[in-house]
């Protein structure tokens, strides 16, 4: 069974700083997807970024980028020029490429951006 671990329950940075959220996962699969989801206080789950395991190039979406290390089974999220609106819970998630489309989530990291 796949597991996802986020070792930082809470983080706090000043506005405009860069912050990195950690995620590790355990799987015997070779092909899979990795995701970061954001959950602001509104409760809505919002897809931030996704990565296909077969792609070596790290995904980027504006101020959000990932550092995907397949051999180390590591998938960290970097937020550059952090903004107050980035304050949220962030969840790392894993899905196998074949078979049932089941997202396995980490425990989440509560990120606070301070003014």
Q: Which residues bind another protein (CB under 8 A)?
A: 33, 35, 37, 39, 42-45, 47, 50, 52, 89, 91, 95, 97, 100-105, 107-108
Q: How far apart are CA 66 and CA 36, in angstroms?
A: 9
The minimum distance between CB 46 and another protein, in angstroms, equals 8
Residue 57 or 115 with smaller CB distance to another protein: 57
Q: How far apart are CA 30 and CA 97, in angstroms?
A: 9
The minimum distance between CB 53 and another protein, in angstroms, equals 12
Residue 6: φ, ψ to 5°: -115, 115
Residue 56 or 101 with smaller CB distance to another protein: 101
Residue 97 or 114 with smaller CB distance to another protein: 97
Q: How far apart are CA 60 and CA 57, in angstroms?
A: 9
* CB distance 25 to 2 below 8 Å: yes
């Amino acid at each position: 069974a796949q597991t996802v671990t986020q070792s930082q329950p809470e983080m706090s940075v000043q506005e405009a700083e860069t912050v990195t959220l950690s995620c590790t996962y355990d799987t015997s699969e070779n092909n899979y997807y990795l995701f970061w989801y954001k959950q602001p206080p509104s409760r809505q789950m919002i897809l931030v970024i996704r990565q296909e395991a077969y792609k070596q190039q790290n995904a980027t979406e504006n101020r959000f980028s990932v550092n995907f290390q397949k051999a180390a089974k590591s998938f960290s999220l970097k937020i550059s020029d952090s903004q107050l609106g980035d304050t949220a819970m962030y969840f790392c998630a894993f899905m196998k490429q074949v078979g049932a489309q089941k997202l396995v989530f980490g425990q989440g990291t509560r990120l606070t951006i301070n003014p």
